[in-house]
Amino acid sequence: TGYYRVNYDDENWQRIAHYLNSDNYTNIHVLNRAQIINDAFHLALEYKLNFSVFWEIVNYLPREKDYVAWYPMIKIFEYMSNMFA
């Protein structure tokens, strides 16, 4: 057992981004939404995913009401602020 990141092909990342930016985003469980954000960011850091895809995914967050889904983005902001400190 272990912790694994999930990297989809480009078409599936686009489908996920499209779905998250639809009115049906809550049909994806909040823990999965959080993990998608976390995976997308870390894969982008490793140059395994284009950062533009990450930004398309998190574009839905202004409508997100659940803290659990926001948590990885908060950690990303912390990481980014430490990079520029």
pLDDT in tens, 24-47: 999 999 999 999 999 999 999 999
Query: How is residue 40 written in tokens?
Result: 């997308």
Residue 33 lies in a domain: yes
Predicted confidence band of residue 1 (pLDDT cuts 50, 70, 90): low
Residue 76 lies in a domain: yes
Residue 1 lies in a domain: no
Residue 85 has pLDDT above 90, yes or no: no
Residue 68 lies in a domain: yes
Instruction: Look up the domain containing 41 and give its range.
Output: 29-83
- Domain count across the chain: 1
Residues 6+ apart with CB under 8 A from 2: none
CA 20 to CA 14: how far, in whole Å?
10
Residue 64 lies in a domain: yes
Residue 34 lies in a domain: yes
Task: Provide the whole-model pTM.
Answer: 0.92
Distance, C-alpha 42 to centroid of its chain: 9
